[in-house]
Homo-oligomer: A and B are copies of this chain.
Amino acid sequence: MDASTLFQKIKEKESFLCIGLDTDHHRIPEHLQYMEDPVFAFNRKIIEATHKYTVAYKPNLAFYEALGSFGWKALEKTIAFIRQTDPSLMVIADAKRGDIGNTSKMYARTFFDHLGCDAVTLSPYMGRDTVMPFLEYEDKWVILLALTSNTSAEDFQFFRNEVQGLALYEKVLLEASKWDHADRIMFVVGATKAERFAAVREIVPDHFLLVPGVGAQGGSLSAVARYGMNNRCGLLVNSSRGIIFASDGEDFASAAAAKARQLRDEMALLLKTRGLI
């Protein structure tokens, strides 16, 4: 999937929502705990209920790996079910990997060949050669951490070079946007710091940004759109717990659908206001 196709899907669905499948098995409603594979049973219901409102799903690998090989099976089944439901949905492996070249090649095989994802999140700490093995896959995306949504993002991401007038996260945006195949790099920019989107857009006006931190972490969707949206949207806004754990009862899927629909409605309005749909 290239950026034009993604923008086309956003326009069709009137949504730039990404639903994070942070499926913590401790929080799955009790009536599903007796199923053979509670994580997959939960995800399946969530996907059936929400796929109309979203352009992407983002399974967070941590929550699957916590169950070992059993969790990996649940992940494989979840991705297959997303493909079966709507092949045009983007699947993002939220893995935050980053390793030397020969290891990166293995991770790229895992996420792109074996699991069949469209994109994977990576940490920039080890630099360009840890990212390139992923970008060698045509039609696949790398989503590079830039400015994250957690409190201690400031520990190192704001480390500043005064001569260049750049914080580390700005340096990451600047350098990575010059790498080969950079048109298939998105950047993670947290919604909890919406006023910083203006500065981010000065460095990467055209790139897609993956925006966590709306919902449970307190970010504002309209502020993100005001400062971060570009003329092909340029945003995927993620919500995880705010959608999938909207209810802990038997109505969890319809509660998730209601939350996702509400976000879609807000997004449709923002896209219309901007004249994109």
- Is A220 engaged at the interface, CB distance under 8 Å to the other chain? no
Contact with A162, one of B70, B97, B154, B162 (Cβ below 8 angstroms)? B162
Main SS class of interface, A: helix
Interface size on A, residues (CB 8 A): 57
Bound-complex Cα distance A97 to B95 (A): 8
A78 CB, nearest partner CB in chain B, Å:
13
- Is A88 engaged at the interface, CB distance under 8 Å to the other chain? no
- Is A130 engaged at the interface, CB distance under 8 Å to the other chain? yes
A262 CB, nearest partner CB in chain B, Å:
23
* A129-B106 in contact (CB<8A): no
* A150-B129 in contact (CB<8A): yes
* A126-B110 in contact (CB<8A): no
Q: Contacts A125-B156, A161-B161 hold; do A69 and B69 have CB atoms under 8 A apart?
A: yes
Q: Which residues of B contact A32 (CB under 8 A)?
A: none
- Is A3 engaged at the interface, CB distance under 8 Å to the other chain? no
- Is A68 engaged at the interface, CB distance under 8 Å to the other chain? yes
Bound-complex Cα distance A154 to B130 (A): 12
* B110-A66 in contact (CB<8A): yes
Bound-complex Cα distance A103 to B155 (A): 18
Q: Which residues of B contact A109 (CB under 8 A)?
A: 66
- Is A50 engaged at the interface, CB distance under 8 Å to the other chain? no
* A127-B154 in contact (CB<8A): yes
Bound-complex Cα distance A172 to B168 (A): 13
- From residue 228 to 245 of chain A, which have CB atoms closer than 8 A to chain B? none
Q: Contacts A96-B99, A130-B152 hold; do A24 and B69 have CB atoms under 8 A apart?
A: no
- Is A215 engaged at the interface, CB distance under 8 Å to the other chain? no
Q: Contacts A66-B107, A66-B109, A69-B72 hold; do A150 and B130 have CB atoms under 8 A apart?
A: yes
- Is A14 engaged at the interface, CB distance under 8 Å to the other chain? no
- Is A148 engaged at the interface, CB distance under 8 Å to the other chain? yes
Q: Which residues of B contact A127 (CB under 8 A)?
A: 150-157
* B68-A114 in contact (CB<8A): yes
- Is A123 engaged at the interface, CB distance under 8 Å to the other chain? yes
